[in-house]
C-alpha cells in the first residue's frame, strides 16, 4: 500500500504554554524530511478537518515560526470535538483529497481515542494512513509516558504562585492569614502536588495539598490547616479542582455544572467549598484563589525543559510515522541515573485512549495531605531552572 506524502497536524484539548512548540517540532521536522510533501494544519482540529479548512504550514517564514513556537495557546486553534461515526466518511474524503498519509494529533487521552479511532476507520476503509500522536496535557495524566509536555511549565506556575501566596498570607497576618489556592487537574493530582516544590522549610507554603487520589475528610483538612495557622500565623492549602471527599466530589450539591462530549464532569470547585469551611471554623478571613487558564498560558513561567521536550516529541512523531509506525503516541522516557536526561519512545494509542495515570502511592503522604521526597525528586527537573529563593527579616 502506497502512503501519500503529505502530512496533517492538529491541536486538540486544553492549551498549554508549549503546545505550539510541539506544533513547530512537527512542522519543521516534516518540512525538512527528504521526500516529504506538504504539511497541513487543521484549523480547530477535527472541526477544521471536517470542513476541509486546512492551512499550508510550509508558507510561513522561519522568523514567523520562531514567534509561533514561543507563543502559548494553540496557533491552529484547539477543539474538544469528538470524532463521531457520522464524521468518518467526510474526514477520510478530505485526507484522500489532500493526499495526506501521515496524521499527528497533539493532545491528551481524548485525542488518543480520536487518533486510535481514525486509524481503525482508515484501516477498515482501505485508506493508507499512519497516525502518530504527540502527548500534551498540563494534567500529566497520560499512561505510558514518564511525563507530558505542558506539565513542567504549569507546575512551575503553580509552585511560583504558591510561593507568592504563602508570603502574602504570612505578611498579612491576622488581617488575612488563610489562603486556599485551587488549581487544575481533572482526574489526577500531579499539578496540585507540584506546589510542594515551593517549600524549603517547615513554615513555607503549602501546608496542605488536596488531590483526587486521596479522599478529603473535611474535619481532618480543617484540623491540619488550623494547626499550621496556630503554629506559623498563616496557612495555605493547594487544592485540585476535582479533589474529592470520602463520599464523592466536594461541595454542597456535588452536581457537575458542565459535562463535555467525552463525558468529563466539571464541578463548581473543591477549593471554594474548603475555603468556606475554614472561614466558618477559624472565624478569620480566608482568601480563595482560582487562577484558571493563566496557569497553562503564563509565558513568564515556561520551563526550559518543557520547551525542549515539547519540540522533541513533535519531531519524534514525524520520524516515527515516516518510519512506518502507526496507531502510536510518542512518549517521554527518563534515563536512569542521578543526572536528568529525557528521550522518546512509543506507546499504543489503544492503551492511552481514555485512560488516566493517577499519582502512585509512593508519591503521596495521605496522613499529612502532602507528598513524599520521591515525588519531589521526580518533579523537580521538569520545572527547568531552579525556583527563586525568598528571604525573611
Distance of alpha carbon 123 from alpha carbon 329, whole angstroms: 18
Helix (H) or strand (E) holding 223: helix 218-232
Distance of alpha carbon 274 from alpha carbon 372, whole angstroms: 23
| Cβ–Cβ < 8 Å for 119, 111 | no
pLDDT tens for each residue of 170-197: 999 999 999 999 999 888 999 999 999 9
Cell 495539598 belongs to 209
Range 124-137 average pLDDT:
96
Query: What are the residues facing 344 on neighbouring strands?
Result: 332
List, as one string, the DSSP characters of 337-357. SSS--EEEEEEEHHHHTT---
- Counting residues of the chain whose pLDDT is more than 70, the rounded percentage is 95
pLDDT tens for each residue of 207-234: 999 999 999 999 999 999 999 999 999 9
pLDDT tens for each residue of 275-298: 999 999 999 999 999 999 999 999
Model confidence at 111: pLDDT above 80: yes
Is residue 139 flagged as an active site residue? yes
Distance of alpha carbon 94 from alpha carbon 83, whole angstroms: 14
Could you say which DSSP state residue 268 is in?
S
How many CA atoms lie within 13 Å of 138's alpha carbon, on the beta-carbon side?
32
Domains of the chain by start residue, with CATH: 6-149+302-352 (3.40.50.450), 153-300+358-381 (3.40.50.460)
What pLDDT does 328 receive? Answer: 98
What pLDDT does 81 receive? Answer: 87
Lowest model confidence (mean pLDDT) among 58-67, 74-83, 146-155, 245-254: 245-254
What pLDDT does 255 receive? Answer: 58
One of 139, 141, 204, 327 is an active-site residue; which one?
139
Distance of alpha carbon 245 from alpha carbon 381, whole angstroms: 31
Using DSSP bridges, classify how beta strands 100-107 and 130-135 pair: parallel, antiparallel or unpaired.
parallel
Determine if the peptide bond prior to 206 is cis (ω within 30°): yes
Would you give the distance in Å from CA 296 to the centre of its chain?
8
| Cβ–Cβ < 8 Å for 104, 330 | no
Dihedral angle over CA of 368, 369, 373, 375, nearest 10 = 170
| Cβ–Cβ < 8 Å for 22, 106 | yes
The reported pTM is 0.93
Where helices occur in 130-193 by DSSP H, the ranges are 151-172, 190-193
Strand order in the sheet with 235-240: 208-210, 235-240, 178-183, 286-289
pLDDT range class, residue 256, cuts 50, 70, 90: low
Amino acid at each position: 500500500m502506497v502512503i501519500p506524502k503529505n502530512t496533517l497536524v492538529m491541536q486538540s484539548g486544553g492549551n498549554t504554554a508549549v503546545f505550539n512548540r510541539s506544533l513547530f517540532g512537527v512542522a519543521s521536522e516534516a518540512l525538512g524530511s527528504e521526500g516529504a510533501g506538504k504539511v497541513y494544519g487543521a484549523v480547530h482540529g477535527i472541526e477544521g478537518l471536517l470542513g476541509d479548512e486546512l492551512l499550508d504550514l510550509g508558507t510561513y517564514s522561519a522568523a514567523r515560526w520562531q514567534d509561533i513556537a514561543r507563543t502559548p495557546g494553540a496557533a491552529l486553534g484547539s477543539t474538544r470535538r469528538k470524532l463521531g461515526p457520522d464524521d468518518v466518511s467526510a474526514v477520510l474524503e478530505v485526507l484522500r483529497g489532500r493526499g495526506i498519509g501521515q496524521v499527528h494529533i497533539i493532545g491528551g487521552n481524548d485525542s488518543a481515542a480520536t487518533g486510535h479511532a481514525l486509524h481503525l476507520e482508515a484501516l477498515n476503509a482501505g485508506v493508507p494512513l499512519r497516525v502518530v500522536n504527540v502527548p500534551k496535557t498540563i494534567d500529566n495524566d497520560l499512561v505510558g509516558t514518564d511525563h507530558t509536555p505542558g506539565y513542567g511549565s504549569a507546575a512551575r506556575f503553580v509552585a511560583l504562585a504558591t510561593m507568592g501566596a504563602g508570603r502574602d498570607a504570612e505578611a498579612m497576618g491576622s488581617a488575612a492569614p488563610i489562603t486556599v489556592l485551587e488549581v487544575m487537574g481533572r482526574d489526577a493530582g500531579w499539578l496540585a502536588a507540584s506546589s510542594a516544590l515551593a517549600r524549603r522549610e517547615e513554615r513555607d507554603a503549602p501546608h496542605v495539598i488536596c488531590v483526587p487520589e486521596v479522599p478529603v475528610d473535611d474535619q481532618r483538612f480543617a484540623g491540619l490547616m488550623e494547626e499550621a495557622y496556630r503554629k506559623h500565623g498563616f496557612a495555605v492549602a493547594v487544592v485540585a479542582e476535582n479533589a474529592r471527599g470520602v463520599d464523592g466530589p466536594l461541595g454542597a450539591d456535588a452536581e457537575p455544572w458542565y459535562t463535555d462530549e467525552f463525558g468529563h464532569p466539571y464541578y463548581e470547585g473543591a477549593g471554594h467549598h474548603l475555603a468556606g469551611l475554614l472561614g466558618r471554623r477559624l472565624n478569620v478571613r480566608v482568601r480563595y484563589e482560582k487562577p484558571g487558564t493563566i496557569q497553562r498560558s503564563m509565558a513568564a513561567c515556561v520551563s526550559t525543559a518543557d520547551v525542549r521536550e515539547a519540540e522533541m516529541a513533535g519531531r519524534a512523531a514525524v520520524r516515527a510515522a515516516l518510519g512506518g509506525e502507526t496507531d502510536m503516541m510518542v512518549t517521554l522516557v527518563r534515563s536512569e541515573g542521578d543526572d536528568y536526561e529525557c528521550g522518546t519512545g512509543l506507546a499504543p494509542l489503544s492503551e492511552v485512549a481514555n485512560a488516566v495515570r493517577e499519582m502512585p502511592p509512593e508519591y503521596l503522604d495521605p496522613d499529612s495531605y502532602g507528598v513524599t521526597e520521591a515525588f519531589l525528586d521526580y518533579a523537580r527537573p521538569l520545572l527547568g531552572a531552579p525556583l527563586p529563593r525568598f528571604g525573611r527579616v
